[in-house]
Amino acid sequence: MRSPTVVTSIGELREVLDARRCAGHSVGFVPTMGYLHAGHASLVKASVAACDVNVVSIFVNPLQFAPNEDLSRYPRDLDRDLDLCGRSGADLVFVPTDEEMYPSEVLTVVSVSSISSRFEGTNRPTHFSGVATVVTKLFSMVGSCTAFFGEKDFQQLAIVKKLVADLSMPVAVVGCPTIREPDGLAMSSRNVYLSETERAAASVLSRALRRGVDLIRSSQTVTSVVESAMAQVVAAESLCELDYAAVVDSTSLETFETIPENPRLLIAARFSKARLIDNMGVNDA
């Protein structure tokens, strides 16, 4: 296994990547918040398969956490992360400090309207501007590249695609499939917040999504019928409370009375110390 080079300064990151681009090499980039698992590894492997030099960033971005959220207790394990990056084939791991990323008060905020205000945006009103701002900064540091994001965070992926298109960034955004545990639970760094009994119950999200997908596949065309069926699956599980179950258009994330041509099913539910999100396309399950 090759050990990746750890870079902590923006200057050094730019220098290394500019030199590689000058030599004709393509750059693959995987932004993360660390505490990496097989879902992140799949993004790194997709990057390695497509690009010559591959960078993973690990940065728990304070800007995307509201004061009442889990910033200080967000799980971290840099040694294990570096090991996973090396085993997955990453060449560089960019691990900036908060001071390197935000040396002074942030007065410039990037926000993608409309898509950001729905679903996760309703629950977390400042979250996506924090994400869009840090992604814009990271793209500006990494430069021209192909960036790999998980479909696991489907709304985030839609926002990043729109951001790159609207700001003409020299970045190709690639969405990668969600990696799941054997019982269907989408892998997430936040799954560690679940108790043992909650962990067993947490597969309810993917079961609800599958129920919705099955209905659409068997020609159900009324959005509210599919959404109610998903909600019913979650209601049968007493350890969590549904935030939303929705069928949306895959690009705009808008809802319609009838199932759109290219639908995506979204779900979010709260457990005692964890709020989990998941989603599925009709051809996924």
Catalytic residue IDs: 40
187 binds ligand AMP (CB under 6 A): yes
88 binds ligand AMP (CB under 6 A): no
179 binds ligand AMP (CB under 6 A): yes
Candidates 121-129, 174-182, 259-267, 276-284: pick the segment binding ligand AMP (CB under 6 A).
174-182
Residue 112 CA to residue 155 CA, distance in Å, equals: 11
Site track 146-165 with ligand AMP (rule: CB under 6 A), x = hit: ---xx-xx------------
CA pseudo-torsion sign 134, 136, 139, 143: negative
94 binds ligand AMP (CB under 6 A): no
Burial class of 265 by CB neighbour count within 10 A (0 to 12, 13 to 18, 19+): buried
Nearer to ligand AMP, 190 or 270 (CB): 190
Rg (CA), the chain: 19
Candidates 20-28, 91-99, 104-112, 182-190: pick the segment binding ligand AMP (CB under 6 A).
182-190
Helices (H), the chain: 10-22, 38-50, 78-88, 98-101, 120-123, 127-142, 154-166, 196-201, 204-217, 223-235
Distance of CA 237 to the CA centre of its chain: 25
Site track 239-278 with ligand AMP (rule: CB under 6 A), x = hit: ----------------------------------------
